[in-house]
């Protein structure tokens, strides 16, 4: 879509999205659904970050609180300590790295940006912390606006929509208006696959993701190794890479500008093949 906004101003570093980019996931948590506990030491954090950057990640998404279905909350201080320690180490070792902070808590987001994060990725779309939108505006960072029905603990209990794509679109329109009123300039849209959606709703949303292009904002697809793949293929997350790759191509064809992934190399390859298809209609 020619009018779609294709740049994000990340605290002075410009991220250009004229071609799709890869966001590498770094969970510094003991209980994330796929890689919980893998990247908790300083050495592991730096090695994994270097690995993802070398494979072509444009930025690293650091999270310190699991949002898998049914997950329990931890204290703000504990979450903040986890992510700030990781961000500080990454910025010291790889100072040019763009980092997004994966949190729904304004205080954690603020602390993370002070340590060097330059994008805020909020799975709750501002619904779980009333201070989040004003904090984003004050910090002047890009904001990834994700749709979630309910909370991580309850979101998969019985998700219901009149029309899942229309309902998510309506949510985006309302939230974008509130963000714009506060002066937030750079917004990325994330439909929230697996966050308060049934298996069937997830596939409907993916099939209709192009409708969000009407909002003329970049779209992020977070599909990597999620339950919408595992349930359909009857595999566990460890064996969901092939399914992830297949759906990444669909997401790109539906207009995704960012793929949030556990496996950077494979996602970069999908983007290269997608670009070959686009260049040779």
Give the three-state DSSP class for 34. coil
Catalytic residue, candidates 47, 226, 231, 257 = 226
Q: Diameter of the chain by CA atoms?
A: 52
Rounded-to-integer distance, Cα 69 and Cα 115, Å: 29
Tokens 């500008």 map to which residue? 257
Is there a catalytic annotation at residue 92?
Answer: no
Q: How far apart are CA 103 and CA 125, in angstroms?
A: 10
Residue carrying structure tokens 């596939």: 203
Catalytic annotation present for 21: no
Helices of type H across 194-279: 199-207, 227-233, 241-253, 264-279
Q: What are residue 163's phi and psi, to 5 degrees?
A: -155, 110
Residue given tokens 């961000």 in the structure block: 87
Marked catalytic residue, from 21, 105, 175, 260: 260
- Annotated catalytic residues are 226, 260
């Amino acid at each position: 879509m020619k009018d779609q906004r294709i740049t994000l101003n990340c605290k002075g570093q410009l991220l250009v999205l004229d071609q799709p980019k890869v966001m590498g996931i770094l969970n510094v948590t003991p209980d994330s659904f796929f890689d919980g506990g893998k990247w908790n030491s300083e050495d592991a954090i730096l090695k994994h970050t270097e690995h993802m950057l070398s494979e072509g990640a444009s930025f690293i998404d650091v999270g310190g609180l699991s949002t898998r279905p049914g997950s329990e909350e931890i204290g703000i201080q504990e979450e903040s300590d986890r992510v700030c320690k990781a961000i500080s180490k990454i910025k010291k070792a790889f100072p040019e790295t763009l980092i997004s902070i994966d949190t729904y808590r304004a205080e954690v987001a603020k602390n993370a940006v002070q340590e060097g994060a330059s994008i805020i990725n909020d799975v709750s779309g501002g619904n779980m912390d009333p201070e989040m939108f004003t904090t984003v505006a004050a910090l002047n960072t890009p904001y990834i606006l994700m749709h979630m029905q309910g909370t991580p603990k309850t979101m998969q209990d019985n998700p219901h929509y009149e029309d899942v794509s229309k309902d998510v679109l309506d949510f985006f329109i309302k939230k974008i208006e509130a963000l714009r009123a506060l002066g937030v300039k750079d917004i990325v849209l994330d439909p929230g696959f697996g966050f308060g959606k049934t298996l069937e709703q997830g596939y409907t949303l993916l099939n209709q993701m192009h409708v969000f292009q009407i909002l003329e904002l970049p779209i992020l697809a977070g599909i990597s190794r999620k339950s919408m793949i595992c349930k359909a293929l009857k595999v566990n997350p460890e064996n969901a890479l092939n399914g992830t790759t297949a759906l990444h191509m669909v997401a790109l064809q539906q207009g995704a500008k960012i793929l949030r992934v556990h496996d950077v190399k494979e996602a970069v390859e999908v983007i290269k093949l997608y670009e070959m298809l686009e260049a040779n209609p």
